[in-house]
Chain A
Amino acid sequence: MTFLTLDLAPLLAATLAACACALVGNYLVLRRQSLMGDAISHAVLPGIAAAFILTASREPIPMLLGAAAAGLVTVALTSLIQSLGKVDRGAAMGVTFTTLFALGVVLIQHIPRTIDLDADCVLHGNLEALLWFPPDNITLASLATLPRQVHTLAFVMLGTIAFTAVFYKELRLTSFDPALAGALGFRPGLVNTLLMTLAAAAVVASFEAVGSILVIAMLICPPAAARMLTNRLGTQILLSQAIAIATAVGGYFAATQLPPLFVPDLTLNAAGMIATVSGIFVLAAAIVARIKDRPKPNPPSPAPSPAH
């Protein structure tokens, strides 16, 4: 029963987080907005801290709302600074997320110690702390006794799937040709806002399990690896999901099952290992892509670039 108690919940949480993030991440990578995920995930900290201070609890709903609001503030502030300051987008993003993150670090000092949340835990999550004590005879209904984080992640995962399925056409068109999309009446601005909201939701739901920096790896690495292997959006999404699952499961086992073979009782940080493994997948995909594309004299034409 140790697998069910110790490993099932973290595995489920990591897999759900990786899939939800990778699904959104496909569009971030295509739109050259990967770093928006970076900015949002840093900025989530003050949102969560503020929600904690206002409600004095760890209820998931206020936390999600606070973090999503912080994510949208990041997006809006970045655009504002970019247009007012006429600085490049990277710098505008850097100003926004470092200031917000610093604010979060200060706010977190005001949270009573009785609530277990500190800056370190926000950074690299606490995947291993998810335990499940299943009832003796396991039925489908006993899944409800899984830790809350798993439920939140499952909910966000379903929401992400629903959103990307319903708006598949809109997302694709606004990602590849925002001008045409606008001319056809698809409102790229609105789609972008919705996508950013979705990214914020995925980041918030995942950060509790894997931490705010490593969630960036989940957002970017599987889609980036998939992007190198195919030019078709549908294939890329499916591939990214497969890579996300492999990353989560492989990383978790590499952290918890592999080290004890060499040093007794040693386990490593699972979230960090998942990020490391996702880097290995990117490397592998890059090598495969180079071998596959070698015979051609010219490098493969890049994806139709989304204009800015």
Chain B
Amino acid sequence: MQPPTPPTDPTFLSDLWTVLTLRAGFNTTTVIVGVTLLGLASGVVGSFALLRKRSLTSDAIAHAMLPGVATAYLAAVALGVNGKSLPVLLLGAAVAGLLGALMMHAINRLTRLEEDAAIGITLSVTFGLGVVLLSYIQRSPQGSAAGLHHFIFGQTAAMLPADAKLMGALALTALILGVLLFKELRLLAFNANFAQTIGLPVQFLDLALLALIVLVTVAGIQAVGIILVIALLIIPPAAARFWTDRSSRMVALGAVIGAGSGYLGAAISALAPNTPAGAAIVLTAGAIFFASMLLAPRRGALATTARAAWHRFRIATDHALENLYLAHTHDHTHPPRRQVIARPVAFYLQAARLAQRSSPVSDGGGGQSAARPEGEVRVTSHTRLTPTKAGLALGAQLRRNHLLWEEYLVTYADIARTHTDWPTDQVEHILDDTIIHRLESALEKRGVRLPPPA
């Protein structure tokens, strides 16, 4: 077997462009438009499913559709109807999907088993039943299960324009219903109890969400396949979650990411016939997800790591300045312990050197230059820092705030809980004068040397 054309091949890229601009023939174009609509709808429905923590419920529903497809085929053949008729098969799938949801609900409610076990039991047992039925169809004289196998992994290559239109219509229905029910479903997802209190029919809404999940899944099983169709419900909303905290934006972004994955994935699969569409679409969505996880501005991994490093740096420099101040004023009531200050000081030293290197201003004094023109420390040797006047003043304030906070937290432990996250330099802004006076006199009574306010 030849490996598929590598994507760097220029003809592949020009072919991809032809497909992406919808000029690759009627069949391919209908399929791409249908899958894009599917992505759009599943992004919207999936967002509510994600917020309602129903992600893996949809997995069991999708798996339960395999016996539904097989039963519909057998019933159609027995009734003398064309067994490969897509609407018939999808109807069977929808009924089976709802039965699967019912089965999960029953296991969860009537036994002591947890939800995870209910999902696992439902998806494996129903899928097993489906495999048995497929093997029966395969070996029975009436016909072959060849077409039915495509529902497992999905196949766009064999899709007719009529199939794609049906898929698009189902997806569009789910999309419109999802948008119409937006306010109710959002409330359900965030606070079901509150929704119930203000008179929303919570059980009906949960059922409606379930019906929307079934609708999107049914629409998707032919193109994407039973096993991977839930990826469209899970991945785009989860990726959108990194970019925003607002549910309306998350739903919109989820829809865009879903549509983009469907569009790109279907195009790639149209060009590489060995790549099932489901896999191509899911890998596209997965790539978008991991890019979001790394790069999203506030919640992405890089941003989170940078923020954590900045906090550590701030705390370290604060400690260093405070300890430099203590050393400078020979305050022996709280002698700085070497092992405690060694790390922050080394850290600050490093930072000061970096700032010095990048700073255009230098006093040119043979290795004895200010960290910054208005800086707080001078690097006096490879291992020593000397505080400047500004640095000493800042260190004094840090020392003062630190002592006041400590005293405050110890004295007013019952109310201090809400204030513990504030940066130490804000003590004067947060506590009122009476409390500060009280803390000052308490500290003085114990003989602690408290620097005066700035």
Interface size range of chain A in the complex: 35 or more
Minimum CB–CB distance for B300 against chain A, Å: 8
**Which chain A positions have C-beta within 8 A of B130?**
272
Do A94 and B279 touch (CB < 8 A)? no
Most central of A99, A123, A267, A303 by chain B CB within 10 Å = A99
Q: Mark A257-280, 1 if CB is under 8 A from B, else 0.
A: 001000100111101111110110
Do B116 and A35 touch (CB < 8 A)? yes
- A194 sits at the interface (CB 8 A): no
Residue among B112, B136, B304 making CB contact with A299, cutoff 8 Å: B112
Q: A29-B117, A33-B116 are in contact. Are A120 and B124 (CB under 8 A)?
A: no
Minimum CB–CB distance for A55 against chain B, Å: 17
Do A123 and B278 touch (CB < 8 A)? no
Report the Cα distance A250→B124, complex, angstroms. 17
Do B132 and A268 touch (CB < 8 A)? yes
Do B121 and A220 touch (CB < 8 A)? yes
Residue among A32, A94, A220, A255 making CB contact with B56, cutoff 8 Å: A94
Report the Cα distance A224→B27, complex, angstroms. 47
Report the Cα distance A290→B121, complex, angstroms. 18
**Which chain A positions have C-beta within 8 A of B134?**
269, 272
Residue among A214, A266, A278 making CB contact with B131, cutoff 8 Å: A214
Do B117 and A102 touch (CB < 8 A)? no
- A178 sits at the interface (CB 8 A): no
Count the B residues whose beta carbon is within 8 Å of the partner chain — how many? 63
Do A84 and B234 touch (CB < 8 A)? no
- B420 sits at the interface (CB 8 A): no
**Which chain A positions have C-beta within 8 A of B50?**
87-88, 91
Minimum CB–CB distance for A287 against chain B, Å: 10
Residue among A84, A120, A213, A214 making CB contact with B301, cutoff 8 Å: A84
Q: Mark A73-103, 1 if CB is under 8 A from B, else 0.
A: 0000000010011111011111100110111
Report the Cα distance A106→B276, complex, angstroms. 8
Interface of A is mostly: helix
Q: A105-B276, A228-B111, A278-B125 are in contact. Are A95 and B117 (CB under 8 A)?
A: no
- A221 sits at the interface (CB 8 A): yes
Report the Cα distance A303→B113, complex, angstroms. 10
The 6 closest A-B pairs by CB, nearest first: A275-B128, A272-B131, A279-B125, A99-B286, A98-B231, A217-B124
Residues of chain B whose beta carbon lies under 8 Å from any beta carbon of chain A: 1, 3-4, 50, 53, 55-56, 59, 63, 107, 110-114, 116-117, 119-121, 123-132, 134-136, 139-140, 149, 152-153, 227-228, 230-231, 234-235, 237-238, 241-242, 274-276, 278-280, 282-283, 285-286, 289, 293, 299, 301, 304
